[in-house]
């Protein structure tokens, strides 16, 4: 039995050593360790080994099996290495790799991130509201009378249900005040919709950024300081900012904000970037009428609000002449922001 095992092992190792490809090696493995393999067959002879020799022969068989298995594994990885080396022969690993095209953020996303970052540094927290609004949150609660032109069917997308696509993000002011007591300091970026004729400066959907600050003793000075700081952070510390008296139903006094643009080769000009003002007490009163807790009593709190077009800010920042570029997804345009 001993000699038999030795002979089978010697033959097996020789066969493994001679195998020069994966298939021959697999055939050798099956021929030795498979169901009818030489070592399997000799192992079956254990039955007839006298009791007192079983331990010794058993050990011998195990040692033989380990030696053969080890030889198989070593040979297999040697064959694999050789195959890998052959596959790599002729490849110049020092050639530069093919460039990977990274995507980039859309200019609107970039400008929104930057604007939010500046305002969050000043303590404004994100707020949100639905794009499908009701007339109450979009107009009535914002002190906008039923005959105001913004409510006209010509200017606003209405649903049969009487709901509408919000014409501005100012509705988020109302929703926030309904659910939160002062102090409030929020910003709400989001889409707004108007039935505008589409051209280089108008789309029927655009992106606004709303802000609202309500607390004790909030003053017009706070409003000016906050927004001047904001626009200088956005467009550079030298940026000139101008507040022009204007009218909004929900703020009093109200202003439009212009920044002075110095485009290359052109006379500097003022460009309108935002609307703002001190929250009209009528808005606070309407909120309190719903809340019934007097939290927004104009005796106790004041506030300011502002709203700006992010599309407009992006166009100013990068000198984009046509707002439609922002929605056409032309990679030749978008790639410039990578």
**Which residue numbers belong to the known binding site for Mg(2+)?**
252
- Residue 17 phi, psi (nearest 5): -60, -35
Residue entry with tokens 């080396």 = 85
Out of 139, 243, 248, 284, point to the residue binding ligand PHE (CB under 6 A): 248
The tokens for 187 are 């910003």
276 binds ligand PHE per the rule CB under 6 A? yes
305 binds ligand PHE per the rule CB under 6 A? yes
Contacts of ligand PHE in 59-118 (CB under 6 A): none
Out of 170, 207, 226, 286, point to the residue binding ligand PHE (CB under 6 A): 170
The tokens for 83 are 């195959």
Shortest distance, position 277 Cβ to ligand PHE, whole Å? 5
Query: Between residues 107 and 190, which has the closer beta carbon with respect to ligand PHE?
Result: 190
Cα dihedral 21, 27, 32, 38 sign: negative
Out of 15, 75, 166, 168, point to the residue binding ligand PHE (CB under 6 A): 168
Out of 156, 226, 251, 302, point to the residue binding ligand PHE (CB under 6 A): 251
226 binds ligand PHE per the rule CB under 6 A? no
189 binds ligand PHE per the rule CB under 6 A? no
Residue entry with tokens 């046509």 = 322
294, burial (CB in 10 Å: exposed 0-12, middle 13-18, buried 19+): exposed
Residue entry with tokens 């003022």 = 270
Query: Between residues 32 and 314, which has the closer beta carbon with respect to ligand PHE?
Result: 314
Contact window for ligand PHE (CB under 6 A) among 43-51, 89-97, 103-111, 299-307: 299-307
Shortest distance, position 253 Cβ to ligand PHE, whole Å? 11
Shortest distance, position 208 Cβ to ligand PHE, whole Å? 6
Q: How far apart are CA 95 and CA 311, in angstroms?
A: 43
For the stretch 31-44, what's the b/e string if a residue is b when 16 or more beta carbons lie within 10 angstroms of its beta carbon?
bbbeeebbbeebbe
139 binds ligand PHE per the rule CB under 6 A? no
Shortest distance, position 283 Cβ to ligand PHE, whole Å? 10
DSSP 149-168: GGGSTTTS-B-TTS-EE-SS
Pairing of strands 125-126, 184-193: parallel
Contact window for ligand PHE (CB under 6 A) among 17-25, 113-121, 155-163, 247-255: 247-255
Instruction: Give 87-144 as a 3 state SS string.
Output: HHCCCCCCCCCCCCCCCCCCHHHHHHHHHHHHHHHCCCEECCCCCEECHHHHCHHHCC
223 binds ligand PHE per the rule CB under 6 A? no
Interacting residue ranges for ligand PHE, rule: CB under 6 A: 168, 170, 248, 251, 254, 275-277, 305-307
């Amino acid at each position: 039995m001993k000699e038999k095992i030795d002979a089978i092992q010697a033959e097996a190792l020789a066969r493994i050593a001679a195998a020069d490809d994966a298939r021959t090696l697999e055939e050798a493995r099956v021929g030795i360790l498979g169901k009818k393999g030489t070592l399997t067959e000799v192992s079956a002879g254990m039955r007839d080994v006298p009791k007192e020799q079983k331990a010794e022969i058993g050990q011998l068989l195990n040692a033989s099996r380990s030696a053969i298995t080890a030889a198989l594994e070593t040979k297999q990885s040697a064959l694999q290495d050789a195959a890998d080396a052959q596959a790599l022969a002729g490849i110049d690993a020092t050639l530069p790799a093919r460039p990977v095209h990274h995507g980039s953020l859309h200019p609107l996303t970039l400008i929104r991130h930057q604007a939010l970052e500046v305002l969050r540094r000043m303590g404004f927290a994100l707020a949100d509201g639905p794009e499908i609004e009701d007339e109450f949150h979009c107009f009535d609660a914002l002190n906008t009378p039923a005959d105001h032109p913004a409510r006209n069917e010509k200017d606003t997308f209405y649903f049969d249900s009487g709901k509408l696509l919000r014409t501005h993000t100012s509705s988020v002011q109302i929703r926030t005040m309904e659910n939160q007591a002062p102090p409030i300091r929020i910003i709400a970026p989001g889409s707004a919709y108007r039935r505008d004729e589409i051209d280089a400066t108008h789309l029927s959907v655009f992106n606004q950024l709303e802000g609202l600050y309500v607390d004790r003793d909030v003053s017009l000075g706070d409003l000016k300081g906050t927004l001047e700081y904001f626009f200088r952070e956005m467009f550079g510390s030298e940026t000139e900012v101008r507040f022009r008296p204007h009218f909004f139903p929900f703020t009093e006094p109200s202003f439009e904000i212009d920044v002075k643009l110095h485009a290359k080769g052109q006379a500097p000009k003022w460009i309108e970037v935002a609307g703002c003002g001190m929250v009209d007490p009528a808005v606070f009163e309407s909120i309190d009428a719903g809340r019934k807790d007097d939290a927004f009593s104009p005796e106790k709190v004041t506030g300011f609000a502002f709203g700006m077009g992010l599309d407009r800010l992006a166009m100013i920042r990068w000198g984009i002449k046509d707002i439609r570029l922002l929605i056409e997804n032309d990679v030749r345009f978008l790639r410039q922001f990578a």
